[in-house]
Structure 1
Amino acid sequence: MVQIKYSIIIPHKNIPHLLSRCLASIPICPEIEVIIVDDDSDPEKVDFEDFPGSDRCYTQIIFTKEGKGAGYARNVGLRHAKAKWLIFADSDDYFNDCFFSSIEKFYDSNADLVYFSATSVDSETLEPATRHTELSNAIYDYDINNPKSIETIKYYNWEPWGKMFNHAHIKENRILFDEVAVGNDAGFVITAGHFSQIIEVDKEPIYCVTHRTDSLTHEVSEAAFDDRYRAVLLVNGYLRRFDREQMIPVFPFISRSVKFGVLKFFTMLFMALKSGENIFYGSKKYIEDLFRSRHRAVRGYFGIDEDLSL
């Protein structure tokens, strides 16, 4: 019997055509098991009789009805994974051609975590995008003799894609995804990085992350704003837990919240203080940018790449 080497876990909701594209980028072979976890998709948007991957070898499809989001779906996938290495993909992204040859180089590695580079494109036009830039910079700046570059790789590189996690390492440290609407993956990645004793870094861009204007990342409603703010507080909580000094500034969020009303402003302020945030951290730069009428982004990970001015 051929040994399963890699478990690829893909959460999915309501984008079957993009899931099909993702699956098409994964080699079909007994060494790779693909676990698709559907997060209660809408029957009007998904044909469950012809679900992507249903006729694909070495592919398991799990249908959940709880509708708890990608973090919950990934945790379900973790419970079914059998391989030595765990790999995560979003259903609207895909793997690049160098994927399999690159990960194979590290199959016998005793690393806890392997970090790779990535590329990014517009999901519709496939024109180059910039969502991968921070990750790629961290990968290319990595120096095993430079503690700062190691810290950047481990603690400030929050997406689960473009990485290979040693399954035993994840189990031993009981690491799971947060089951929240936004930012469910950051704690998983930060914690896995923190407890890793051995890491490997490779410059090959095995993954392509896409830019979609209709994704949760770019929703601009008050509810989406609240979700992103809670995600920032969640990530900062992990960074404090592991004694990191660099945080995500909450001042821009608190300042911008006044557009939703005075009550929202004080609610955001109270949440920050209760969480132990330094509300003035990063405020000087933010105010300088306002006076200079410059755009300022918090992090692409949170989808706050529009103008943060009031």
Structure 2
Amino acid sequence: MAAEAETSELPKIVAPPPRVPSSPVRRSRVGDLPMRVIYRILAGLAAVVVAAAAALIGFLSSDSADSSDRPGGEPPGQIAAPSAAVSSPGPSSPRPSSPAAAPAATGAAPSGTPAPTPDGSAVAAALADPRVAEPPRDRKLARLPGKAVSAKRRVADDKSGISLARLGKPWKGFGASPFSTRQVLPPVRGAGHRAMLVSCPVPIQVQATMKDTALLAARWTLNHHPEGARIKWTASQRAGDGWLLAYRVTYKLKGKTRSSMAAVVVTETDRAKPALVFVTIPDAQRDRWRDINTAVSSVRAL
């Protein structure tokens, strides 16, 4: 019994394998968060984005203002001003104002600025005047009737820049105003006006040529003839640096047709305006008409 006991096998004790604990399943933390927390996070992010956008806009605006304040700076995107050249206006476009109208609105041109070139409208208006028959044709002044007066002395017209003959008796000096110099004949009853020889700077607008200027001056002299006087040209010729126009002036006095012989000389000088010499003698003193030849041929620049 003892031997059997000694040789019997002991039962094997098998230890169970160690139990490995299973790892817990990871869960999303976002999913574990309550929805109110998520909303708070999203609202915070939105506030941050809005604040950042506002700061960026403010920075850009400040930079734009700074650039426009600098000399020559322009705000971004500003369109440059168009050039001075303007295309021709269409039928529905307003016509731009003419540059020639400006001097009229602002007054006379400053000293030293050349006057605008006349466009001939004043000459056209003078020739359209019924008191001026037709344009003068170039022809020399003929020797007028009468006996020439003595003219050994001269009269200087500093204002006009010329000198002319001082006609002898019966001519005499007289108050010059509104002219620069004046010589007259004794008045004659029924003549309509007094014979006179005067000088002054031209009282009308200077034209492109001395001939046109003389034409306007001759028309202006009708102010010193009886009302209704009309011009008929008798001579038109060059006179030194100027032009001479001679003409007969006809008018009516007490129903009778009367006339005067007259002439103007317009000449260039070193003064601002050309000089004018004007002489007129009524038919009641036709024996002195030859003095017109003496007067107009004596004009000299100082």
Instruction: Please tell me the TM-score bracket, short chain as reference.
Output: under 0.3
* TM-score with structure 1 setting the length: 0.20
Q: Over alpha carbons, which structure has the higher Rg? A: 2
TM-score by length of structure 2 reads 0.21
> Which structure carries more strand by proportion?
2
